[in-house]
Structure 1
Amino acid sequence: MDNKPNIVLFVADQMRCDSMHHMGNDASVTPHLDSILKEGISFENAYCQNPVCVPSRCSFLTGLYPHTTGHRTMHYLQRHEDEPNILKEMKQNGYEVIWIGRNDVIPGDKPKTNYCDEYYDGTTFENQRDNSNSFFFPKDNLKKVTDDDIKNDNFYSFYIGKLKDSEGYGKQDWNCIQSALDYIERKSKNSNSKPFFLYCTISFPHPPYACEDPWYSMIKRHLVPVRRPNISTLKDRASMLYSIESKQNLQNWSEERFTELRATYLAMVSRFDHQFGMICNKLKELNFYDNTNIFVYSDHGDYTGDYNITEKVQNCFENPISNIPLLIKPAKNIKVKPRKTKALAELLDIPATIADMCHINLSYTQFGKSLVHVLSGDEIHKDAVFCEGGRIHGETQAMEKGHNPTSPYWPRLSTQSSEGPEHTKALMCRMGNIKYTMRLYEKDELYDLDKDPLELVNQIDNPKYQDIVLKFKERILYYYMETADFVPQGRDQR
């Protein structure tokens, strides 16, 4: 196993692609991510397969679309032992698998013995592989929510602002980084010849929007990009967005307040960038860097005030929540043409790419395609990419009930409980610079990103685009026919 490359997955939560400086955000401070362009690639057009945590993670760790095995809700995780997962695959192929940080994949009451050799959730520095994990976000210091709190126009915004230090909110991420650094240090002194697979997945820049100095003060507010306009001023959009906007109570916010919220989010991204730099520096210091394939990405994005909405939503696909960072720094043995690439890519391509880099065969059917050829210079990867979400009427198990107005998530989750069209099934398909969204119970959407990069004008009723719509519908039919299911591995007695 000495010649096998190491793998590092460094994963953000809720980070949008345009939050990085090299993607054109002048207010962003991301020097370590930007530096990947010197020796790797960054995808301008990478998409998650679902814009919320659990379905996206179940997809990018398997290479399966959310609809294939029904992972379309925050409360349906990989509960069956025979479900595939790249962590299990790497462990079975002789890798030492270290899982640090977020879960959102395996039910919290199940141990991770089959998935990794060590697991650290950030609440402790002890290996918890054989135990159920604790809730990732700290629960202490929660005060009782009053009616006055709910009426305050800041309550549903997720905005906190400047943190006094690193000891409260966000501390678990620092603990996760320390666990990663400690492991790399131990590995350098360990005679164990196994290559390592380090999956470090932290919480920033997931709301609430809050960050400490020096990152909070790094962001120049006058350079923060202008928001997309209020969704209430736009026509023919998803009813989910109109409903959330009406409930989040941000209608009277000034542009200065939104700018401050967005700057705080960018500060969180900058802290993520700094922590990524710490990991890279440790790999370099201990001579692991050259033989390590590094992937940096996020599970999905965040509206961050665009359309007058914060947070994310499960069945809408505007670029702020579906177009995510995906950066790859390959090991020295892999040919690479460093650059930003416009090639269309999906997060579910990651398992196939890892298998290709490590010369292993995945033991299960999956739908990803290796990105190694894009590393070497190809600018065409897939003709189409997809992002999906929502449910059919009557699918109450997907509503994620249990939240009341005292929860900051209430605007979205109360809308998900409606039996109107708000939370129902939708699928986004992008081919070239056209994005088409098919909706099961309401009007479809089509955006020409060349003419309308902010996705403001729904062209679905424009006769000039009708031939294009038919091509998208044909492509979607092929997509569903190819990926709707697969025959399970192995044979049963009959």
Structure 2
Amino acid sequence: MRDILIEISSPLSTLGNNGPNSYSETDPRFYTFLNEPYKEDATETTDYKNVVAAIKFLRSKPTTPFMVFLPLTKPHPPYSCPEPFYSSINASELPPLRPPGSSDKPDFHALIREYRNLTALNTLEGGEELFFRQLHAVYLGSISFSDFLFGMLMAALKDSGLEDSTTVTVFADHGDYAGDYGLVEKWPSGLEDVLTRVPLLVRTPGGTRGHVVQEPVQLFDIVPTTLELANITAQHVHFGKSLVQQLQGAMGDPTRAVYAEGGYSTHEPRDFEGDASTGGIPRPKSVYYPKLLQQQEKPLSVCRASSVRTLTHKLIFRTDPLDADHHSELYDLAQDPQELRNVYGLPEYAQVQADLKNKLFLWFMQTSDVTPWVEDPRSGLPDIPKADTPVIHNTPTSPARNLPSGFPFDATADTSEERHQDVLFFVN
């Protein structure tokens, strides 16, 4: 791979991507991930320097097809970013957050608040409601910082003359509680929309500008979409669906269900964060101390969970061996888009619940095992097909190229008829 891979990232800055946590360990704000603004200028951040490195690559006018994968650290917690982005959002103008303390939620909600001492935020002036609004404003400010960096990248793409031959895909790997439900960061078995419904924007030559797809899609749809745009046949079994028709203006499939899963099983102790084999539980001065301690002391609070979501309903099924029904969730999204009223087990939703469980069961049956279909004549073991010219970042010229293998999403594009040659992924 070294002959086709070019590392364009910059050396890590001394900033460490975070402003300081100025609270003491006895302060109820200490474990909230809310930090002060960066002391250094935005240009000293790792994200900025990596974007600048990508811009330099684009300005080098590469003559061979390339793929750039550019992940950012923000808006990942701690909640912090450089000024003026840190203070750019007025907390008083934000809509109300999803409230905490619902008895309809699984136990891990209350346990997170207990282990992080979040209820003690009510001793502050304005209580936890005001605090979480301020935290959420900083979270949105850090997203604004990412937007600014993306704007830099797109301007450079245009200036380099590559705009009409490059597909740009923007997405996030997960969301964040950021104060919703009175919680912070994320949880391995949390599958609320605030964690799983993420942005997906695609701009591709010849696509339909400003088209918004309201129907469900999944992040793994990016792979078959990218392959089809590049006129490449997949060389592995996958379950994603190409979104090329949607990029050209078509609506999505309103009947489609999408899936997510997370959590751990107690028969796999090394999967749990804080396990001794992976470094153990950090000292209390670490902001991750409560999260890892909870997983080790209350393993069922992070039991395996799987979800199936349609446009109208969402089922989250958990594997707690003691009380799976109590910890599972069902939401009528048409009536309750914020997932505040858990209707799992209610007689009037029995048919919906059964239908979604059946969808989840069929999904696992269809995708759990894939039998190898290419044999290695030497041993009978599966052979890994060799791509003629696997492309990551920058590759030799070749007539054929091979790439390694959320909703709503925006499908925006210019009106060029030319088939694109390059791919740029921007991830935050």
- TM-score range for the pair, normalised by the shorter chain length: 0.7 to 0.9
**Aligned partners of 1:459 and 1:358: how far apart in 2?**
44
**Aligned partners of 1:413 and 1:262: how far apart in 2?**
23
Regions of 4+ moved over 4 Å = 139-143
Report percent identity of matched pairs.
Answer: 29
**Aligned partners of 1:137 and 1:394: how far apart in 2?**
40
Deviation per CA, 1:152-171: give whole Å up to 9, x if none: 21111000132233269x71
1:399 to 272, 289, 297: 272
Deviation per CA, 1:255-297: give whole Å up to 9, x if none: 3322221111111000100110111100111111121111111
> Which aligned pairs between 1:38-437 and structure 2 lie closer than 5 A?
113=2, 117-123=5-11, 138=16, 149-166=24-41, 171-186=45-60, 188=61, 190=62, 192=63, 194-230=64-100, 233-253=101-121, 254=127, 255-332=129-206, 335-336=207-208, 338-381=210-253, 383-401=256-274, 402-404=280-282, 405-418=284-297, 420-437=299-316
Q: Any stretches of 5+ residues in structure 2 without a counterpart?
A: 122-126, 275-279, 381-428
2:37 match: secondary structure: strand
**Aligned partners of 1:339 and 1:209: how far apart in 2?**
32
TM-score, with length taken from structure 2: 0.78
* 2:390 matched residue in structure 1: none
**Aligned partners of 2:346 and 2:368: how far apart in 1?**
31
**Aligned partners of 1:471 and 1:201: how far apart in 2?**
38
Distance change (3 Å), C-alpha of 1:453 and 1:414: same
Letter in 2 for 1:358: A
* 2:423 matched residue in structure 1: none
Q: Any stretches of 5+ residues in structure 1 without a counterpart?
A: 1-111, 126-135
Distance change (3 Å), C-alpha of 1:434 and 1:394: same
Rg bigger for which structure?
Answer: 2
Letter in 1 for 2:120: N
- Greater share of strand residues, 1 or 2? 1
**Aligned partners of 2:17 and 2:50: how far apart in 1?**
17
**Aligned partners of 2:18 and 2:238: how far apart in 1?**
41
Deviation per CA, 1:400-422: give whole Å up to 9, x if none: 22223232112222222245421
Residue 326 of structure 1 and its aligned partner are, at CA, apart by 0.6
**Aligned partners of 2:19 and 2:32: how far apart in 1?**
19
**Aligned partners of 1:439 and 1:429: how far apart in 2?**
12
Aligned length: 360
* Matching of residue 486 in structure 1 with residue 357 in structure 2: no
Residue 455 of structure 1 and its aligned partner are, at CA, apart by 0.6
* 2:358 matched residue in structure 1: 474
Distance change (3 Å), C-alpha of 1:122 and 1:448: farther
**Aligned partners of 2:298 and 2:88: how far apart in 1?**
45
Residue 304 of structure 1 and its aligned partner are, at CA, apart by 0.3
For the Cα contact (< 8 Å) 1:239–1:421, is it kept in 2? no
